[in-house]
Amino acid sequence: MTVAERAVELEEELDYLDRDEKFEWLIDRGKSLEANGTYTDADLVKGCQSKVWLQVSTNGDKVHIEGTSDALITKGIVGLLVELFDTAPTGEVKDFDFIAWLAKNEMSLSYQRMQGLAGMLQRIRMTIK
């Protein structure tokens, strides 16, 4: 499935939710995200109120991404990044504007949290460039 197709699948879920439900949807994704890996300080992403660990690598043309956070909303965002980008081709990941996608789906995030998100996206960009 392409990144765009994965995004559409998520949008189908979001279409039926109001603002409050979208918030809880993100929290639930955070609660259900399994942190498989072992994380170190090198995986920490700067610029977020909470702690975020993100591991991004490439295998040939495919992106591998996993991570976690000590806060649920951030963990939910990590979950979305994994769902959209893990095992996807690097070109598709590069072309996908995650922040615009959140805005389009009316996923409200405070400015501070956007700063943390910028760090996560920067980590992904730097790895797949």
Partner 1 sequence: MSIKSDFPLFANNPDLVYLDYANTAPKPQVVIDAVMEYYTHYSGNVHRANHDVGGRADEAYENARVKIGQFVGVGRDQVVFQKNTTEGINLVANSYAGKHFKKGDRILATGLEHHANLVSWQLLSGRIGTETVFSKVDEHGNFDEKDWMVKVASGVKLAAFTAVSNVTGERLPIERMIAAARAHGVVTLIDAAQLLPHERADFAKLGADFMVFSGHKVYGPTGIGILIGKPEALESMDPWIGGGDMIDTVSLLGSTYQEPPLRFEAGTPPIASVIGLGVAVEYLGEKLDREHQEEESTAMECLLEGLRQVKGLRWLGHPSCDSRLVSFVIDGVHSADLGAYLNEKHVAVRVGKMCAHPLLAQSGVDSVVRASIGLPTDGTDIDKFLYAIERGVTILR
* Closer Cβ to partner 1, 69 or 88, answer by number: 69
Tell me how long the chain is: 129
Cβ atoms of residues 39 and 65 within 8 Å: no
C-alpha triplet 53, 124, 103: angle, nearest 5°: 95
Contact between 32 and partner 1 per CB under 8 A: no
Half-sphere exposure of 45 (CA within 13 A, CB side): 29
Contact between 113 and partner 1 per CB under 8 A: yes
- Identified binder of partner 1 from the candidate list 72, 102, 114, 121, rule CB under 8 A: 72
* Closer Cβ to partner 1, 46 or 125, answer by number: 46
Quickly tell me which residue has 């991570």 as its tokens. Answer: 67
Identify the three-state secondary structure at position 65: strand
* Closer Cβ to partner 1, 89 or 118, answer by number: 118
Give the binding site for partner 1 (CB under 8 A): 19-20, 23-24, 27, 48-51, 70-74, 108-110, 112-113
